Amino acid sequence: MKEEKTITCIGCPMGCQVTAVLEDGKVTEVTGNTCAIGDRYARKEVICPMRVVTSTVRVKGGNLPVVSVKTNGDIPKKQIAECMRQIRDIELTAPIVAGDVIVKHIVGTDTNVIATKDIQAV
Amino acid sequence: MEERQIVIIGGGPAGLSAAVAAKNAGADDILIIERDERLGGILNQCIHNGFGLHTFKEELTGPEYAKRYINQVIDFGIDYLLNTMVVDIDDKRQVTYMNREEGLVTIKADAVILAMGCRERPRGALNIPGYRPAGIYTAGTAQRLVNMEGYMPGRKVVILGSGDIGLIMARRMTLEGAEVKVVAEIMPFSGGLKRNIVQCLDDFDIPLKLNHTVVDIRGRERVEGVTIAEVDENRKPIPGTEEDYDCDTLLLSVGLIPENELSEKIGVPLDPVTHGPIVNETFETKVSGVFACGNVLHVHDLVDFVSEEAAKAGENAVAFVKANYYEPNRQQIDILAGEGVGYTVPQTIAQNIDEPLKVRFRVRGIYQGKAVSVYFDNERIQHKKKRIIAPGQMEEVLIKPEELNAHASIKQIKVVIEDA
């Protein structure tokens, strides 16, 4: 099966509209890019776009009511919503130190959700 | 009156980096004065990642980036005051501050580093008709509410302005369950990074309407909706293009303005384009011993560049304190923004330089296939072709010591955009 996907390259302010041709799930051709960055970006982005997710989690008894968190690596873009659902109802108790693991193996990946900020107990 | 060697106004990324660099350069008496209840400034609310690629060669979130510097400040035993507001500074470098514990206090500094950052352009600065209902926030205020105080400002959101903070908040509000209906941008291009347009708007199918602005806000007590219209080349709304959006929240991401009330009290002349102090190559303002760095000097897109500039300001403040005063050893050179260039920082060169000098600037429009040139008086010294230059991305040229030495008597340096 042959399909085309057009995306905006994020390599520089040019923002080239890059089109990748996919045959049986493999990129066979990249057009519209004006440099090698666009080619590299498109080949990765059209197969499996990955994103770091950053958000907050509620905290009891801290100097702030929420602590900022991130996935400590990329997760597939299509699992962002599921990731948010999994951390939405968590409530932690202060103190928290940046780097603390909040959720292991989020959405079944090798990636953990970790705190990015210290929260002192008050 | 208590005397301090170096007093730094502001404990955000600029103030922290200036303090650490000043300590490394041999200063042993440094005081940071911060008005918030913690160090780190706006980085504390910028919980997204992408900070530190230049400085630390890794992608950190805002709080993580701040912590790297805060840890050094604490390890070095650098003094800092929190919940403390500087209310006045005079041209003798007498700093008056106020807090709950000490009341009003005036101290004398051998050198002052201004690092107060910037603030957002508010609704009052835009001519949008309508009532003054609840539900209108600057994007940065919404960011603080969501990311630090745990409140959601609303559920149905329209964003005016496509600066990076607006784009980041479009994603953030969406992730927290809000519906972001549209981002309207009055200019024909976005000032935000391409990466943010793709990862904050395209990823969530949020439309970006270029050449559009908000022409009406509906609702008396609470925002009930806004009207968006297309604008012509003079940025005037085109009748008949109005579209109504039901929403309970309008976020404004329409520009940042350096916060220079204190600088004006000192009598520091400001640049009409940057709205920040005019500085020389050491980041010293026109008032002796008063330095400026970070977003109070000019608004940056990358915190890494803030840290880098602030470190220079910190080192130079120490050199100033050690020498007490320095005699200019050359005639001042003015650095001018020529054709296509909005401004440069620094704006002057006061001393001979012994290492390459970075002159940062922003262009006025989007230029493709043009060249950045540097003229010493009327002689072209540098000419470099660029694929693309845009106002949203800060550019730089390097002035080399040997170039300056070979042109001992020049009066001005001009940065221009011209045909390649």
pLDDT in tens, B14-58: 999 999 999 999 999 999 999 999 999 999 999 999 899 888 988
Query: Is residue B196 predicted with pLDDT exceeding 80?
Result: yes
Please state the domain count of chain A: 2
Is there a contact between B64 and A116 (Cβ–Cβ < 8 Å)?
A: yes
pLDDT confidence of residue B329: 63
Q: Single out the residue of B192, B193, B155 nearest to residue B176, CA to CA.
A: B155
Report long-range pairs for A21-25 (Cβ below 8 Å, ≥24 apart).
A22/A46, A22/A47
A36 and A64: one domain? Answer: no
Locus of tokens 């089109």: A19
Beta-carbon count within 10 A of B272 CB: 8
A40 and A59: one domain? Answer: no
- Looking at A31, A47, A63, which one is the last position of a domain? A47
A28 and A79: one domain? Answer: no
- Note down the domain range covering A27: 2-47
Assigned domain for A121 exists: no
Assigned domain for A13 exists: yes
Express each pLDDT in B236-250 by its tens digit: 999 999 999 999 999
A64 and A39: one domain? Answer: no
pLDDT confidence of residue B325: 60
Nearest to A13 among B146, B199, B393 (CB): B393
Chain A residues whose C-beta is within 8 A of a chain B C-beta are 7-15, 34-35, 51-56, 58, 64-66, 68-70, 77, 80, 84, 98, 116-118
Query: How near does any CA of chain A get to the CA of B172, in Å?
Result: 8
Assigned domain for A122 exists: no
CA dist B235 and B185 (Å) reads 11
pLDDT confidence of residue B326: 58
A84 and A34: one domain? Answer: no
Domain ranges of chain B: 2-119+257-326, 122-254, 349-419
pLDDT confidence of residue B351: 85
Query: Is residue A95 predicted with pLDDT exceeding 90?
Result: yes
Cβ <8 Å between B198 and A8: yes
- Which helix H or strand E contains B158, and what residues bound it? strand B156-160
A37 and A63: one domain? Answer: no
Structure tokens at B336: 């001018």
A34 and A58: one domain? Answer: no
A7 and A23: one domain? Answer: yes
| Class (C level, CATH) for B2-119+257-326 | alpha beta
Query: Is residue B73 predicted with pLDDT exceeding 80?
Result: yes
Q: Single out the residue of B415, B411, B395, B390 nearest to residue B338, CA to CA.
A: B415
Rounded average pLDDT over A76-98 = 95
Query: Is residue B124 predicted with pLDDT exceeding 80?
Result: no
CA dist A27 and A43 (Å) reads 6
Query: Is residue B411 predicted with pLDDT exceeding 90?
Result: yes
A38 and A60: one domain? Answer: no
Measured in whole angstroms, the distance separating CA B86 from the mean position of its chain's CA atoms is: 20
Nearest to A98 among B67, B149, B368 (CB): B67
CA distances from B161 to B138, B166, B242, B298 (A): 10, 7, 17, 19
Which ipTM score applies to this complex? Answer: 0.90
Query: Is residue A12 predicted with pLDDT exceeding 80?
Result: no
The CATH code of the domain that includes A19 is 2.20.25
The CATH homologous superfamily of the domain defined by B122-254: FAD/NAD(P)-binding domain (3.50.50.60)
